[in-house]
Structure formats: structure tokens, C-alpha cells
């Protein structure tokens, strides 16, 4: 299965894409075999893969707009939606960390609304 996946995904150019019921994306192509390097008895084969993206947004309609605009450029929404309930102080610290340390381009005037949204999330059980 590993070898099969590698073969399927190593082919450089996107051919047809097929999403199975299980969500597996397999890429079928008929181009040449990927390049390799062999030395001292080991062969390494070039890789070409496609990493899944995410179009998930935050629930809550208009109130979620501010997090949808500011909080999913560097990471997908699931990062936040998987967090436990955190205090407003803790969420303020997270947002400040993203801006000051990770240099996230967040409009300062959006910060109170972002923190409010995050602190009012109701984490799933």
C-alpha cells in the first residue's frame, strides 16, 4: 500500500483526480517515472505530492467574519476549533502571541472582536 501510494503520488503532473467514498485522493497519470539518485546501494526517488487544503470556516455567521478574515491564513480553522474552553485572558494572550511573535498581519482594531469570538466559542463535547 505504501509503495502503491508513492507510485501514484510521485507522478509529477496532475492527471485526473478521483475522490473515493473514503475521501482518498488518488492521482492517475501516465507520464515518465520520477527521477532517482542511487549511490552506495541506496536509491532515493523524487517526490511530488499534493497536500490537502482546507476551506473550513468558523461557524457563527457575521460574528465569525473577523476570525475568518484574520485567523486562517497560517493555519486551518480546526486548530482553533479543537482547542478546549479557554478564558478570555488566555485567548487574548494567544492572539497577542500570533501578532507579536508570529507576525500575523492582523488589524489591531479587529483584536477585541477576535478575542470575544474565541472566548465565546462553545467547544464540542
Partner 1 sequence: MVETFPTSYSRGRRHFVGSAAALGAVMMSSVRAARAENMITLPFPEGPRSRPLTTAFPNKGEMILQRIRPPLLETPFEVFDQGILTPNDQFFVRWHLASIPQQIDVTTFRLMVGGHVNRPLSLSLSEVLELPRVELVAVNQCSGNSRGFFQPRVPGGEWGNGAMGNARWTGFRLRDLLDRAGVKAGAVQVQFNGLDGPTFPATPDFKKSLSIDHARDGEVIVAYLMNGEQMPLLNGFPLRLIVPGWYSTYWVKMLSHIEVLDRPDDNFWMKTAYRIPDTPGANVSPTETGYKTTPINRMLPRSFVTNLKTGDNVKAGATIDVRGIAFGGDCGVKNVGLSTDGGVTWITTKLGVNEGKYSFRGWRARVGVPASGVLTLSVRCTNTQGETQSWTPNWNPGGYMRNSIETTVLNIV
Neighbours of 90 (CB within 10 A): 15
Taking a C-beta distance cutoff of 8 angstroms, is the pair 45, 10 a contact?
yes
In whole angstroms, the minimum distance from the beta carbon of 59 to partner 1 comes to 9
Q: Which stretch binds partner 1 (CB under 8 A): 13-21, 62-70, 107-115?
A: 13-21
- Contacts (Cβ under 8 Å, ≥6 apart) of 90: none
H-helix or E-strand spanning residue 38: strand 36-39
Q: How far is the CB of 7 from partner 1 (least distance, A)?
A: 10
Site for partner 1 in 84-103 (CB under 8 A): 84-86, 90, 94, 101-103
d(CA 33, CA 16): 17
Sole window of 3-11, 63-71, 108-116 interacting with partner 1 (rule: CB under 8 A): 3-11
Partnered with residue 25 across adjacent β-strands are 19
Residue 81 found at the interface with partner 1 (CB under 8 A):
yes
How far apart (Å, rounded) are the C-alpha atoms in residues 55 and 57? 6
CB of 10 to partner 1, least distance (A): 9
Q: Which residues are at the interface with partner 1 (CB under 8 A)? A: 1-2, 5-6, 9, 12, 14, 17, 19-25, 35-40, 42, 44-57, 73-76, 78-79, 81-86, 90, 94, 101-105, 123-125
Amino acid at each position: 500500500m505504501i509503495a502503491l501510494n508513492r507510485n501514484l503520488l510521485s507522478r509529477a503532473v496532475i492527471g485526473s483526480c478521483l475522490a473515493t467514498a473514503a475521501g482518498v485522493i488518488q492521482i492517475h497519470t501516465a507520464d515518465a517515472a520520477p527521477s532517482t539518485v542511487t549511490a552506495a546501494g541506496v536509491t532515493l526517488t523524487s517526490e511530488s505530492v499534493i497536500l490537502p487544503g482546507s476551506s473550513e470556516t468558523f461557524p457563527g455567521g457575521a460574528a465569525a467574519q473577523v476570525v475568518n478574515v484574520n485567523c486562517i491564513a497560517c493555519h486551518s480553522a480546526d486548530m482553533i476549533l479543537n482547542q478546549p474552553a479557554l478564558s478570555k485572558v488566555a485567548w487574548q494572550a494567544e492572539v497577542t502571541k500570533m501578532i507579536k511573535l508570529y507576525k500575523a498581519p492582523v488589524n489591531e482594531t479587529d483584536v477585541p472582536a477576535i478575542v470575544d469570538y474565541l472566548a465565546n466559542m462553545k467547544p464540542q463535547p
